[in-house]
């Protein structure tokens, strides 16, 4: 029996505007609760079907879409991705900067592959995490947010040699477009969202009316709205552009627990899901993110005491987690403090959504931890 009060108790101590928590298994929903408000200005109550910017929780869904094409033989995991994406055909590695600040580059030792993109081992980075990427854009000109130019950067290392969180899944989404001839959102609406019954998830040009607003805390801890929107722009941002609801994302979690099928609709074969769940990074430790912009995302490490790995879409923990999840579980998060986990071994998963900046908020993580402990109690 789930303790129905633990999540609300954690929320009461967290100083969050609002949140939705869900616990699911392969058969359905075990727990769902919406607390607080979606917008402190309007005081609109949070609802279980409130729209959220799910940010980097987008990545796992786009990875699924890419793996559909791998499963169909339309793209190879280990083929040079430059044949599909000319922008990545001649990757250059950033060596540093000359005294005048000009970037110093050399040719990469090997091509980038789709496997490199899906595992964040391509050598790419993020401007808000990696100071060298921020310095590079400072030297060549800061691209407009939501532009393809914002993805064009040199590599920080040769493909396959390190793990660094990055724009790689944005490129994977563009690869889906190149292979299918469809806009990413159109492909996913037809082949991912519709079969999974994710009726409230999609790429949009602006935040829908009634959606949860992003909040920050002022110097006294008081919550205020800070308008921020990750969608829009000139491409469907596969790394973080989706808006959706907690119940929709919980359907994806359940489909992964069920080996790629939900309500009689199959999106991946069981063997493809098994490959998506397998650690792909071996001796390379994955999951730690530094920060070049702590006001947007603080340094973050889900399991600092474990040699965590990365699958074809997810963080994976080699040892059991402190709140109950099994070794080999899958997880990740969105930059506005939304989090999820998928535990294939025990057939459990959970979704926690809030809209607060910066990422890595202690109160949000405490709520997510309480949700997880409830699932395994």
What amino acid positions are annotated as catalytic residues?
56, 59, 165
328's CB contacts (< 8 A; 6+ apart) are 277, 316, 317, 318, 344, 345
Longest distance between any two alpha carbons in the chain, whole Å: 65
CB atoms within 10 A of CB 55: 25
> In a 10 Å sphere around its CB, with 0-12 CB exposed, 13-18 middle and 19+ buried, how is residue 322 labelled?
exposed
> In a 10 Å sphere around its CB, with 0-12 CB exposed, 13-18 middle and 19+ buried, how is residue 345 labelled?
exposed
- Alpha carbon 3 to chain centroid, angstroms: 29
Q: Which two tokens stand for residue 98?
A: 């000359």
Q: What is the dihedral of CA 115, 124, 320, 335, to 10 degrees?
A: -120
- Euclidean distance between CA atoms 259 and 269, whole angstroms: 7
- For residue 128, the 8-state DSSP code is T
- For the chain, the first-to-last Cα distance in angstroms comes to 8
How many DSSP H helices and E strands does the chain contain?
Answer: 10, 17
* Main-chain dihedrals φ then ψ at residue 332, nearest 5 degrees: -175, -160
């Amino acid at each position: 029996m789930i303790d129905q009060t633990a999540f609300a108790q954690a929320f009461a101590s967290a100083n969050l505007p609002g949140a939705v928590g869900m616990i699911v298994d392969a058969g359905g929903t075990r727990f769902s609760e919406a607390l607080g408000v979606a917008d402190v200005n309007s005081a609109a109550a949070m609802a279980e079907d409130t729209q959220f910017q799910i940010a980097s929780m987008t990545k796992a869904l786009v990875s699924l879409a890419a793996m559909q094409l791998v499963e169909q033989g339309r793209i190879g995991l280990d083929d040079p991705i430059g044949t599909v994406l000319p922008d990545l055909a001649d990757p250059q590695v950033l060596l540093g900067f000359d005294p005048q600040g000009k970037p110093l580059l050399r040719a990469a030792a090997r091509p980038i592959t789709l496997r490199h993109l899906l595992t964040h081992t391509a050598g790419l980075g993020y401007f808000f995490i990696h100071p060298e990427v921020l310095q590079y854009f400072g030297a060549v000109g800061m691209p407009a947010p939501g532009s393809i130019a914002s993805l064009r950067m040199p590599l920080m290392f040769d493909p396959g040699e390190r793990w660094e969180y990055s724009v790689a899944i944005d490129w994977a989404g563009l690869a889906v477009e190149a292979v299918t001839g469809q806009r990413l959102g159109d492909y996913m609406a037809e082949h991912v969202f519709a079969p999974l019954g994710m009726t409230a998830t999609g790429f949009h040009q602006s935040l829908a009316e009634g959606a949860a607003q992003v909040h920050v805390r002022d110097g006294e801890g008081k919550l205020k709205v800070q308008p921020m929107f990750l969608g829009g722009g000139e491409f469907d941002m596969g790394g973080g552009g989706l808006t959706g609801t907690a119940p929709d994302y919980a359907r994806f979690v359940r489909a992964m627990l069920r080996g790629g099928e939900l309500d009689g609709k199959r999106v991946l074969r069981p063997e493809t899901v098994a490959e998506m769940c397998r650690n792909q990074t071996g001796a390379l430790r994955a999951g730690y993110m530094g920060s070049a912009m702590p006001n947007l995302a603080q340094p973050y490490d889900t399991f600092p005491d474990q040699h965590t790995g990365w699958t074809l879409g997810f963080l994976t923990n080699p040892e059991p987690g402190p709140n109950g999840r099994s070794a080999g579980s899958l997880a990740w998060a969105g930059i506005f403090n939304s989090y999820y986990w998928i535990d294939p071994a025990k057939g459990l998963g959970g979704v926690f959504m809030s809209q607060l900046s910066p990422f890595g908020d202690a109160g949000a993580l405490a709520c997510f931890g309480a949700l997880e402990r409830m699932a395994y109690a």
